[in-house]
Structures are given as C-alpha cells and as structure tokens.
Amino acid sequence: MPSILLKSAKILDTESSYHLKTKDILIENGVISQIEDSINAGDKIIAHENLHVSNGFFDSSVSFGEPGYEERETLANGVTTARRSGFTGFLLNPNLNPVTDSYSAVKFLQQQIDTQLIQIKPIGALTRSFDGKNLAELYDMQMAGAIGFYDFKTSVKDANLFKIALQYVKGFDGLIFSYPQDQSIAGKAQVNEDKFTTYIGLKGIPSLAEELQIARDLYILEYTGGKLHIPNVSTKASIQLIKEAKVKGLQATSSVALPHLFFSSNQLEAFDSKYKILPPLRTEEDCIALKQAVLDGTIDMVTCDHEPMDEEHKELEFENASYGSIGLESAFSVLNNLFGVEKASELLSKTKLCFGLETSQIEVNQRADLSLFEPNLEYKFQKKHIFSKSKNSIFLGENLKGKVLGSIYNNSFYEN
C-alpha cells in the first residue's frame, strides 16, 4: 500500500500524548511512522480544511443480509458502507438465514469476513434458530470466533434457560446478550405507551416491559455470576436498574441506540414508518435521561443499531411496516449534534474496549486504525448520503452536523 500523509490533522485521542494537537501524520505499511508539525513525504496526501482524526469507530450492533436476505444488504456493500462512514470494525448480529447458531455457521461467516479489510466480530445465536428453548452451540461458536451470544431483539422467556446459559458460558468466559423486553407485557403493541401515543390512538408497549426484563436478568446474573450485555436500553427506570447493578459489582454492560437519544415518541404524529423501531421511541423524559446516562458512564456505549430493511417491508402503513433503521452513515453526525466532536469521537471509538478487543493509540509505531472527519459541516441528511443498499434511515430529512471523510485500517484507506 502506498504511504499516506495526513496534513494538519487535529488529533482526538485521550490516551495519546498528541490529544487535541494539530499534526502531520505519516502512515507506512499500515503503521504510524511519524507525527510531526510538518512532514514532506507520502505517496498519497490527504489534506482537508479542519481535518480531524480519531481512533477508528466501532459499533456493537450491525445487521446485514448475507446470507439469506441479500436484497437488504450484502456483506461487501455493507463493509464499504461502514468504512466510508468512518467505522473500522463492528459486531455482526446473527439475524441471518440460516441463523448464525452453530460452529459451521460462524466459520462460514469468518471465512467471508477474512476477505474484508475491516474488523468484524460475529455474534452467535443464544438458542437454536432463536427458538428460546434449546441452547445453541455456544462453546463451539466461541472457538470459531463468536464474541458473544444473542437472540437478536428477542428476549429469553425461560428464566431457567437464561440461568443455565449464564452458568455454562462462565466456564469459557463467554458473554450473553439479552434483549430487554418482556414480550408477555409488550404483546402486539408497536409503540411506547405514553400520553402522546394514547392521544393519537396507537396501542402502546409500557416501559415496564423493558424494566421487568432487565430486573429479572440482572437478578439472575447476581445469582450466577458471569458477563451480561444489555443492548438497546431505552427508559429512565432501566438506567437506575443498571446503575444499581454496577454498584453491586456485576459484570453488566449496556448500550443505547442513537435514535433513542435523538427522537421521542412525539415523532409518531404523522404515522411515518421510518420511526418504527425496536425498542420503540420513548418519551422526552426518557430521552433526556438516556443522554445523561451516556455522559456519566452508566450506559457504556452507543450504537447506530444498523438494521437494513428493503422497501417492500418498510414503506408500508405504520402497523404493517417492519421495524428497523440503518444508522452507519449518520452515526458520527448525530453524535456530533448531540455531544460535540470530542465526545462523539470518544463514544464511537471506545466500544471495542467494552468487548476486550485490541486497540491502538495515535502514536508513532502504533497500528493505523483511524477515522477521518470534518466536524463543522452542516447539512440535511438525504438519500444521496446513504451508501447502504437499503435506504430505511430514521434520520432522513434531519439537519445534521459533521462529515466523515474516510477511514484507515488494515493497510487500506476508504475515502468519501
């Protein structure tokens, strides 16, 4: 690979001695070889006004469609989308066809992943075909490369099965993901239960459905020990439960999806299906509490919760439309809007630490794992900004701030 020179790049890396300094950065053979005030070298020169650089973005919840749902997204285009959006790695959900629930399924994915210039860690299913009854090949999948086990956006109803799963994976330091929704309480409702959704006539899911599931799971975790990740936390009371678990010293991490930091259920007035996601959009009070929990560290990470859905399943009447929104392309801009560039880059790059994955600093002789962006550009997010095969973004039409310029990883450079 030709050497790359980043000219006058402001460095955002709290672990680096160059944090908040503007420097030239030379990258040779995938490694940072020089960081100086001025460097006159490099086969490819990247020079942008107000260029910023941080550690590579990493996301904890990305769904594609291959194998089985290629009409939604392919692996190759999904990877290109991620890299152009500043991401140098992510966890890949098991909601494929067939479901990623065996050693052979993880191995097949790993073989496809190894040809891509990005760090992808597959998540295996917790139960066979998400049936909620029979544990999948957990140990074998971890040996094949799975980072954890998750029945994507489906909670485990059987408390004893959940207990056994936590006890079993302790033997090989496995990680269980548990989606926070008690389906017996949620029923067939599709939005949050609050004054606004009641006013517009939509049957709601009470926040109790999430909080009861989290309380049960944390109580079992306290009994069994082990490691638990709670994805897509979305209510104020859930935050308090997680805070109490951390005080107890439980090994529990959690994430919040970007739409729940940006929108409330008030967006549903027009019954636009782009706002139909799981968990549902909650109240403004929940939204404010979630942002504070991100800032104080109660919630460990944010996720774009990238979930492509083709038009045939998404562009329908609200009650018939599928759940889900893509989010890779808008992730940096949304967080930049909410928290500013320093916090946005920190949140997007620290996720890999939560999963014990190797990281590098922006220092000489360190591996170049970098995201490049200009934080001040303001624009309206439109379909022309989407690289995904599916276009189902909840952020379409929103005024955002900050543009990703590209990413550098594994001796390769992707540029917008």
Q: Is 300 a catalytic residue?
A: no
Which is the catalytic residue, given 131, 305, 310, 369? 305
**Rounded Cα–Cα distance for residues 356 and 358 (Å):** 7
Q: In angstroms, what CA-CA distances link 187 with 160, 184, 191, 193?
A: 22, 6, 11, 12
The phi and psi torsions of 326 (rounded to 5 degrees) equal -75, 165
Alpha carbon 75 to its chain centroid, in Å, reads 16
Q: Which amino acid is at 249?
A: G
Q: So which residues are the catalytic ones?
A: 305
